[in-house]
Structure 1
Amino acid sequence: MRQFLATVAMAVAMGAAGAATPVQGHGVTAAVSPPKVLRYAFRVAETGFDPAQVIDVYSRTVTPHIFEGLYGYDHLARPAKIEPLTAAAMPEVSDDFRTWTVRLRPGIFFQDDPAFGGRPRELVAADYVYSFKRFADPATKSPAWGSLQQQGIVGLAEQRERALTTKQPFDYDTPIAGLQALDRHTLRFQLAAPRPRFLETLATGDLFGAVAREVVERYGADIPAHPVGTGPFRLAQWRRSSLIVLERNPAYRERFYDAEPAADDAEGQALLARFQGRRLPMVDRVEISIIEEEQPRWLAFLQGQHDFIEQMPAAFIDLAMPGGEVAPHLARKGVRGWQAVRSDVFFVVFNMDDPVVGGLAPAQVALRRAIGLALDVPREIATVWRGQAIAAQSTLLPHTTGHDPALRSEMGVYDPARAKALLDLYGWTDRDGDGWRERPDGQPLVLEMLTQPDSQSRALDELRAKNLAAVGLRLRYRAQKWPENLKAARGGQYQLWRVGGSAAAPDGQPSLARFHGPQVGGQNIARFRLPAFDALYERMEVLPDGPERLDLMRQAQRLGMAYAPYKTLVHRVVTDLAQPALLGYRRTLFWQDWWHMVDIQTGPDSNTRTP
């Protein structure tokens, strides 16, 4: 009987229409509940769903719900705790942190797809070998290759170099020493140098989830539109930059809600008590709209069209959570809210290959520092962010190793007088008396910044143009959608850009990858190259956590501040609101997957039910 009803419920979840329907089975009539649908909006458009090709947080919020890495994060544990996902247990690690052996859990299957010829397809160790190799394939053009390359998987970079040198397709079939399937369910990584935090790489499921070779070869260049994984959901519909729909993966294995919140974590303990033992995912369908403008996104939530609003628009924060408490008119409806300093940073990035703002010469360093000093971040926080941000003193992110909340640096200073003095000292002066400064060689100086066509960006653009005009610098904008800006930045076809980044792991070193020379075109969108920095970065990678490594992080941080390829702006204070029908939400720290860990209350009392 249980199996029969589960089958009927699945049929409804996967597309049966509307209201509950009487179902006959073994002499019993049961009402099938309507599908549980989670609805909310992204504020920026996605770029695609191939883990090896995406770098933006919005696409990487979708991918870990479809693909699964070897390890993941405990949904409730704070501080963060890594746990097996498709692995059967934690890895076996050699004393020198060079050899990592992982055993997969048997009986995990990919979702059905024509690429498998109608046969069930089990996840095996060779799938992870193939998936990791895809990042090294030049044809994939993976923006994450630089990050993976730094892990030093023996033979992987050499295999990539052969493909580049010979101009032949990347060789997936020749074994390499650093990435081997020892048997059907055992995987071994061999690293060229100690990597004490390699487990964090294995837990980055939004990138390093398993992809089946048959699927990639079937869909070719269209693979971003055909994600096929072992995760709790599958892609059901995609209208680019408009709508993303995921449905429950009917082939998903038996997996149940479990977690280990701290004993003094009242919220975590309450969620565990409520949901422990529930089969995952608990919702049948997820519908994500792309709504870039703040007001329509806020109105969609107020009107009950969305169950959740993430990163509450700053313009409406006083209406939603004045003083950090849910507004009475919303609280009466059962709306709940959460606020936290997010592990992210916004910054202005300078293209170090640009002949005007780039380079390591004193005049260019002075220009970048002056621009940073001229930006009125306190006013930005007060007016545009409505107090929902704090000034960022460095690129190291809150809640990660190396971040010091007490640090104060030039990155967090607004001082237009110092900005003018720096410009004057290094020859960026107004020679013709028109009010605008020229270059040291007398040529006109007009700065260009990439931006997006949305209301928040327009408010920030207006403020920054005024800030720079006040010190004699002329700024114009090139407005286009975020994916186009990302493409331009990765290709070095820009001068300045305001952009943000968030942590994907508890370690702070990945945020320093923005300065690492070998990662130009990937995480290092500034295209900054400094051998002294690279030496510090590479030494950090091989050291275990401890005082010596923290000292190296501080040295690297100081170099980054001195040359200023980035001007850090703010860390956001994020506000999330949920309708009463959404149960079990908790903001994640470093991981993006949570849709399978929440429930949607259906029925006539769903607007008043609280968790």
Structure 2
Amino acid sequence: MKFAGLRRIGLLATLVLASVWAQGGRGTIYVSFKDDISTLDPAIGYDWQNWSIIKSIFDGLLDYEPGTTRLKPHLADKYSISKDGRSYTFVLRGGVRFHNGRPLVAQDVKYSLERTLNPKTQSPGQSFYLGIEGAKAFVEGKAKEVTGIKVLDQRTLQITLERPDASFLHKLALNFAHVVPREEVERWGADFGKHPVGTGAFKLKEWRLGQRVVLERNPQYFVAGRPRVQEVVFLIGLDPNVAFLRFQRGEVDLLGDGIPPARFNEVMSSPKLRSLVAIGEQLHTGYVTLNVKVAPLDNIKVRQALNMAIDKQKIVRLINNRATPAVQILPPLMPGYAKDYAGYPYNLEKAKQLLAEAGFPNGFSTVLYANNTDPNPRIAQAIQQDLARVGVKVELKTLAQSTVIEAAGTPGQAPMVWSGGMAWIADYPDPNNFYWPILSCAAAVPGGWNWAWYCNQDLDRKAQALDAMVQPQEQAARVAGYRDLFKRIMEDAPWIPIFHEKRFTLRSARLGGPDSIYVDPIHIPVNYEEVYLK
């Protein structure tokens, strides 16, 4: 009787477990963060901490294959592009509902894009959509709607651009274009970011400021079998070192702030802990800008010499090998990265020769600006020491990040800038995001991010022509064109690319799946929709 009773209990447990699995998720995972989440409004959130949480609550017309930079339709069931490359027609997926139960319609997409463009929203993503026809008139208050966004019927939307933009689909996959329900935005007003309602895999269950944010599984989510856990609990206010201790006690599954620097060597030298580390590439490049408008950096041979004088391997060792040395501007994950390009090899004798040819056989004096948060001062000192070996005397100015950014964006003020702490991580995986904001003539303006003040009008025209190649059959040629464009920039040497950072994430033994879930290049830092318990 006892044995039979246990069998019945076991059968019941099996049936319950099967039911839970059939619903598509089980259990709770715990994630630690030192700082509170600032907002969960997709039109406003723009930092790495809330990026993947917003992506868990909201959806866009397009998304990426998990763990990759490959676009796929998401809220859109399908789309087409006009022959002139300016108009995109999207047909929405049927059966999608907001967390409040209302069905998604095309008008919601129009409203969400216009909300991001509206100056009253103060969205940092507004500029991504100014290329839509009529967007500038709307922003300036000359029109009540964006004429280039048209609702054709409840499930069909057409977006027309002023000129072709091959990166536009990527921009529609950004959080800023994620879809929100108008009635909930109007209900909560400025507090919508604390009461988010989307169509995503998770919905907000609880938010205790400074303590915890809890997401629960959306049972009506349109992607079958996702998400794969019932809840995600973000524990707020945990110092990274305290979070690490709680991780060791089994109280935290993911270190949201990463492995504490003081614990990194301990983790990597422990077979048990090392087996729990997920490592992935980022769309990141850390670099030194060389102001081409300031003597003697206006001399191309000087800039090429400085590129050859930096020991990048040594700098990578300074940050516990959490990066790979860079030989070019684009990171390895970015389309257009030239795998066979060697760049400027570390060669002190050749660097000295180029300096002599440029008229500086005894070197010169200059200034390097850097962020004053660790490890940036140490990296700046390593650069200073390397350049001293070829006779270049570098004065270091390690200052607050905001001060460095101001100096770098002021004409003639910052000869050299180490970008660490402010280095470029792509907004989206398209090579033009490494050109227009930081290397184009349009960005070489006061307050801009082109700190090298580099301007090549021919390359601007080439980039415009490449961005007009929007049809699928043109993409291979477009990527090859950008590969050549960035090689051409490296000939002029306005940057010294130093390294491409890798992301290291520590996960608990009870979490399953490939590393790409935990170091997703798009859903930074973690793709919570794909996380599951073993």
Residue 211 of structure 1: how far off its partner (Å)? 2.7
Q: Within the alignment, does 1:345 sit opposite 2:285 as a pair? A: yes
Relative distance call for 1:506 and 1:394 in structure 2 (3 A) is same
Residue 508 of structure 1: how far off its partner (Å)? 2.8
Q: Which secondary structure does the structure 1 equivalent of 2:464 belong to?
A: helix
Root-mean-square deviation over aligned CA pairs: 4.4
Match of 1:99 among 87, 90, 107: 87
Larger mean CA deviation between 396-405 and 372-381 belongs to: 372-381
After TM superposition, the structure 1 = structure 2 runs for residues 65-76 of structure 1, keeping only pairs within 5 Å, are 65-75=56-66
Q: Within the alignment, does 1:230 sit opposite 2:199 as a pair? A: yes
Match of 1:587 among 516, 519, 524: 516
Aligned counterparts of 2:153 and 2:408: Cα–Cα separation in 1? 38
- The answer for unaligned runs of 5 or more in structure 1 is 1-27, 113-119, 258-277, 351-356, 431-435, 438-444, 602-611
Match of 1:363 among 290, 293, 296: 296
- Which deviations, in whole Å up to 9, do the C-alpha atoms of 1:50-80 show, x marking residues without a partner? 333344333322221122101222337x6x5
8 Å CA contact 1:233–1:249 kept in 2: the answer is yes
Residue 46 of structure 1: how far off its partner (Å)? 6.1
Aligned counterparts of 2:186 and 2:403: Cα–Cα separation in 1? 29
8 Å CA contact 2:201–2:226 kept in 1: the answer is no
Aligned counterparts of 1:153 and 1:67: Cα–Cα separation in 2? 22
Match of 1:451 among 372, 378, 382: 372
Q: Within the alignment, does 1:193 sit opposite 2:163 as a pair? A: yes
Structure 1 residue aligned with 2:5: none
Structure 2 residue aligned with 1:64: 55
Aligned counterparts of 2:74 and 2:93: Cα–Cα separation in 1? 9
8 Å CA contact 2:254–2:506 kept in 1: the answer is yes
Structure 1 residue aligned with 2:318: 383
Aligned counterparts of 2:407 and 2:190: Cα–Cα separation in 1? 22
After TM superposition, the structure 1 = structure 2 runs for residues 196-595 of structure 1, keeping only pairs within 5 Å, are 196=166, 198-202=168-172, 204-217=173-186, 224-235=193-204, 245-248=213-216, 253-257=220-224, 278-287=225-234, 289=236, 298-309=244-255, 312=259, 316=263, 318-321=265-268, 327-330=270-273, 336-348=276-288, 350=289, 358=291, 360=293, 363-366=296-299, 373-386=308-321, 388-410=322-344, 413=346, 415=348, 418=351, 422=355, 425=358, 437=365, 446-452=367-373, 454=374, 456-457=375-376, 459-464=378-383, 466-467=385-386, 471-479=392-400, 495=414, 496=417, 497-498=419-420, 499-503=422-426, 505-513=428-436, 514-518=438-442, 525-526=449-450, 528=453, 530=455, 531-543=457-469, 544=471, 545=474, 548-588=477-517, 589-592=520-523, 594-595=527-528
Supply the AA of the counterpart residue of 2:234: E
Q: Which secondary structure does the structure 2 equivalent of 1:301 belong to?
A: helix
Residue 84 of structure 1: how far off its partner (Å)? 3.2
Relative distance call for 1:447 and 1:29 in structure 2 (3 A) is closer
User: What percent of counterpart residues are identical?
Assistant: 23
- Which deviations, in whole Å up to 9, do the C-alpha atoms of 1:123-171 show, x marking residues without a partner? 321222122224433444544344434xx322223433x34xx7xxxx5
Aligned counterparts of 2:58 and 2:16: Cα–Cα separation in 1? 37
Larger RCO (alpha carbons 8 Å, 6+ apart):
2
8 Å CA contact 1:244–1:288 kept in 2: the answer is yes
Relative distance call for 1:284 and 1:393 in structure 2 (3 A) is same
Supply the AA of the counterpart residue of 1:181: V
- The answer for unaligned runs of 5 or more in structure 2 is 1-14
8 Å CA contact 1:340–1:574 kept in 2: the answer is yes
Residue 187 of structure 1: how far off its partner (Å)? 1.0
Q: Within the alignment, does 1:181 sit opposite 2:151 as a pair? A: yes
8 Å CA contact 2:337–2:483 kept in 1: the answer is no
Q: Which secondary structure does the structure 1 equivalent of 2:489 belong to?
A: helix
Q: Which secondary structure does the structure 1 equivalent of 2:138 belong to?
A: helix
Q: Which secondary structure does the structure 1 equivalent of 2:99 belong to?
A: coil
Q: Which secondary structure does the structure 1 equivalent of 2:177 belong to?
A: coil
Q: Which secondary structure does the structure 2 equivalent of 1:535 belong to?
A: helix
Aligned counterparts of 1:414 and 1:292: Cα–Cα separation in 2? 43
Supply the AA of the counterpart residue of 1:569: I
Aligned counterparts of 1:552 and 1:64: Cα–Cα separation in 2? 32
Number of residues paired by the alignment? 495
Relative distance call for 1:137 and 1:223 in structure 2 (3 A) is same
Aligned counterparts of 2:230 and 2:409: Cα–Cα separation in 1? 40
Residue 392 of structure 1: how far off its partner (Å)? 1.1
Aligned counterparts of 2:323 and 2:234: Cα–Cα separation in 1? 29
Residue 379 of structure 1: how far off its partner (Å)? 0.7
8 Å CA contact 2:114–2:145 kept in 1: the answer is no
Residue 582 of structure 1: how far off its partner (Å)? 1.4
Structure 1 residue aligned with 2:11: none
- Which deviations, in whole Å up to 9, do the C-alpha atoms of 1:227-263 show, x marking residues without a partner? 43222234556688x666231165x524444xxxxxx
Relative distance call for 1:46 and 1:180 in structure 2 (3 A) is same
- Which deviations, in whole Å up to 9, do the C-alpha atoms of 1:504-526 show, x marking residues without a partner? 55543322233234467999622
Relative distance call for 1:201 and 1:479 in structure 2 (3 A) is closer
Aligned counterparts of 1:520 and 1:47: Cα–Cα separation in 2? 31
After TM superposition, the structure 1 = structure 2 runs for residues 110-149 of structure 1, keeping only pairs within 5 Å, are 110-112=98-100, 120-149=101-130
Relative distance call for 1:549 and 1:246 in structure 2 (3 A) is same
Q: Which secondary structure does the structure 2 equivalent of 1:68 belong to?
A: coil
Residue 595 of structure 1: how far off its partner (Å)? 0.6
Supply the AA of the counterpart residue of 1:600: L
Relative distance call for 1:328 and 1:550 in structure 2 (3 A) is closer
8 Å CA contact 2:116–2:126 kept in 1: the answer is yes
Aligned counterparts of 2:181 and 2:444: Cα–Cα separation in 1? 29
Q: Within the alignment, does 1:38 sit opposite 2:29 as a pair? A: yes
Aligned counterparts of 1:409 and 1:485: Cα–Cα separation in 2? 31
Structure 2 residue aligned with 1:441: none
Residue 402 of structure 1: how far off its partner (Å)? 0.9
Aligned counterparts of 1:69 and 1:362: Cα–Cα separation in 2? 47
Structure 2 residue aligned with 1:117: none
- Which deviations, in whole Å up to 9, do the C-alpha atoms of 1:513-554 show, x marking residues without a partner? 332344679996225462333212111111254564345313
8 Å CA contact 2:99–2:199 kept in 1: the answer is yes
Q: Which secondary structure does the structure 1 equivalent of 2:461 belong to?
A: helix
Residue 49 of structure 1: how far off its partner (Å)? 3.5
Q: Which secondary structure does the structure 1 equivalent of 2:393 belong to?
A: coil
Residue 596 of structure 1: how far off its partner (Å)? 2.0
8 Å CA contact 2:329–2:497 kept in 1: the answer is yes
Aligned counterparts of 2:446 and 2:63: Cα–Cα separation in 1? 23
Aligned counterparts of 1:58 and 1:490: Cα–Cα separation in 2? 26
Q: Which secondary structure does the structure 2 equivalent of 1:595 belong to?
A: coil
Larger mean CA deviation between 304-313 and 488-497 belongs to: 488-497
